[in-house]
A = this chain, B = another copy of it.
């Protein structure tokens, strides 16, 4: 087919996502999922077989979905759930109350899309220096330190080298690392928190030049907390083309519905109860050869189109600046509550 110019090693084009939930479908049987006051919690434990299938690491993945973090009542519910799920992961990972913790905030504080880790780390409670000075800590507190290693572009040093050298000196019993994540889906942006005890693993995705931060590398458990903040521009094009198919299938199914004609077209919820799948011929009619490309082929095409334009464009919710502030408050407070035995805000 002339639409793609040549044979391509498709594995090189696999989309990069840090979210394990991006890789499974709705009936993945190793997922436990429940919803409480509009907040959905997904618990997935990958054994070596499943991990290998998904190209992810063996371990526990908790994913929390929510809608509006700016509402104070939602915020409170979310804080309780996040703290609780954090504690569960700590327990599953074998973290004891007397284990010392190092919190690491990754990313670039000068970029709204990338500052999540740094801004969260700036809000956590540290105690290690008090213990060093006095030999004791107030009841309920754990020995905790914090590191903000910066990004290579402003330090000139590989981030994982900074982390490795400080860990060698401080010798924490476990690590919590916070970072902005990549997702391949627009509908998770700033509305999803993933917690995993597998650390941060670059996987085989494209454009992923991060080094691994994991127990394998550092010898101690690594809990990673992340939130997807942006998708790249090719993702939104691909997502839109997929949604287009759903709209077309909806339109075919409802082409004779008189009610629909009264609703403005952009108000029609074509995603609801829409199980009709377009045939190959219908796809050709609506979208031509493009309509019959599979997801990987479509992504390759979009990359081929966008790369020569010379832009490194990102897509993000308009309100990102405000939501990131709320999210870093939330995650920092949940970390404080889950690693220390305290229930009220102290900072």
Contacts and interface: CB of A to CB of B under 8 A. Distances in A.
A91 interface: no
Contacts of A317: 311-314
Q: Point out which of A126, A233, A255, A303 has the most chain B C-beta atoms below 10 A from its C-beta.
A: A233
Contact of A156 (B127, B154, B346): B127
Interface string A288-316: 11110000000011111111110111111
A237 interface: yes
A268 interface: yes
Contacts of A284: 288
Total identical chains: 4
Nearest to A128: B156
Nearest to A290: B287
Contacts of A29: none
Contacts of A265: 4-6, 8, 300, 304
A261 B247 CA distance: 37
Interface string A219-244: 00000000000000100110011011
A305 B243 contact: yes
Contacts of A313: 186, 189, 236, 315-318
A158 to B, nearest CB: 7
B147 A240 contact: no
11 contacts: A6-B265, A126-B153, A129-B153, A145-B157, A147-B162, A162-B166, A236-B313, A237-B237, A240-B302, A240-B305, A313-B315
Given A237-B237, A316-B316, 9 more contacts: A144-B156, A146-B150, A147-B150, A147-B162, A240-B305, A243-B309, A269-B308, A271-B308, A290-B290
Q: Which 6 A-B pairs have the closest CB atoms?
A: A128-B156, A126-B156, A288-B288, A145-B156, A266-B307, A165-B169
Interface of A: 2-6, 8, 70-73, 110-113, 122, 126-130, 132, 143-148, 150, 152-158, 161-162, 164-166, 168-170, 186-187, 189, 233, 236-237, 240-241, 243-244, 247-248, 251-252, 255, 260-261, 265-271, 283-291, 300-309, 311-319, 321-322, 344-347
